[in-house]
Structure 1
Amino acid sequence: MAQAQPASLYAPSAMVFTVAQGDDSAATVVRASTLSCAPSAQGTHPDPKAACTALKATGGSFDRLLAAPHPGRACPMHYDPVTVTADGVWQGSRVAWKHTFSNACAMSATLNGNVVFAF
């Protein structure tokens, strides 16, 4: 009798990342990118290898993608929300993560240097 064998030695990692204008389910997606990290980095992301490396560094806690806002950058205090999301499967586990920023400047200051949302 044949035994089931895994299709790959790697846990699946296939994600969709979005940047949307708004703070709820009716937010309008303005940019999106796909990323698959196993067995190789690929997708529509402009730098899939760097994005996969950054995701691996989170240890599966996507809140680690967020950094303290850059101290040398002042942002206006107006509310014009921008929401980023990460949906899919990361190293075999389902992920549905989102974070809303008060405006695009706050998003840029917090994600400064973050290659995952640089698309």
Structure 2
Amino acid sequence: MLRRSAAISAAALLCLTGAAGTAEAGSTSLYAPSAVVLSIGKGADSGSLTVLRATTLSCMPGPSGTHPDPEAACAELKGGFAGAGFDGLLASPDRDRACPQHFDPVTVTLDGVWEGARTSWQHTFSNACVMGTTLNGGEAFAF
């Protein structure tokens, strides 16, 4: 009887967490998925963007993807930005580094699923130098 109760409890837990459908799709994780596509491109917004580089990053159930350092990138994205969302990736530009004052826009994007919810984020920098001095940590977009 105890064995049957444990089986029923496990099935109930899967149904309540929504993991039953996930388990059927091949995953055995009870954690919400976090998998995104990161891109860097020329242009002022995602509508006119010419993608220069892109990579995939999966952080749940474990760091993986085509990103060159998925562990560091996941740690940066999971770091918590005190309610700022992905805008927490941005910092004040490094004042010790001079950048040219020309306008050659570069846009970074993040699209996918984060902690089980659909997400889309983008930010445009005036040029690649400003992007390099403004990204806080820079691990997520270091590809």
Q: Common fold, TM-score beyond 0.5? A: yes
Aligned residues: 119
Q: Could you tell me which of 25, 42, 52 is aligned with 2:64? A: 42
Structure 2 residue aligned with 1:9? 30
In 1: Cα distance, 2:65 partner to 2:32 partner: 17
Flag the structure with more relative contact order, 1 or 2, with Cα contacts below 8 A and sequence separation at least 6: 1
Q: 1:1-119 alignment to 2 at 5 Å?
A: 4=15, 6=19, 7=23, 8-24=29-45, 25-59=47-81, 61-111=85-135, 113-119=137-143
User: Is the CA contact 1:58–1:65 (under 8 Å) kept in the aligned structure 2?
Assistant: no
Larger mean Cα displacement after TM superposition, 46-55 or 57-66: 57-66
Q: Secondary structure at the match of 1:109?
A: helix
The structure with more radius of gyration: 2
- Compute the TM-score of the two structures, normalised by the length of structure 2: 0.77
Larger mean Cα displacement after TM superposition, 2-11 or 17-26: 2-11
- Compute the TM-score of the two structures, normalised by the length of structure 1: 0.92
Q: Which runs of 4+ in 1 moved over 3 A?
A: 1-5
In 1: Cα distance, 2:136 partner to 2:117 partner: 27
Q: Secondary structure at the match of 1:96?
A: strand
CA drift at 1:113: 3.3
Structure 1 residue aligned with 2:4? none
In 1: Cα distance, 2:95 partner to 2:102 partner: 18
Letter of the aligned partner of 1:64 in structure 2?
G
In 2: Cα distance, 1:91 partner to 1:97 partner: 14
Q: Secondary structure at the match of 1:36?
A: strand
Structure 1: 5+ residue stretches without partners = none
Structure 2: 5+ residue stretches without partners = 1-7, 24-28
In 2: Cα distance, 1:112 partner to 1:66 partner: 5
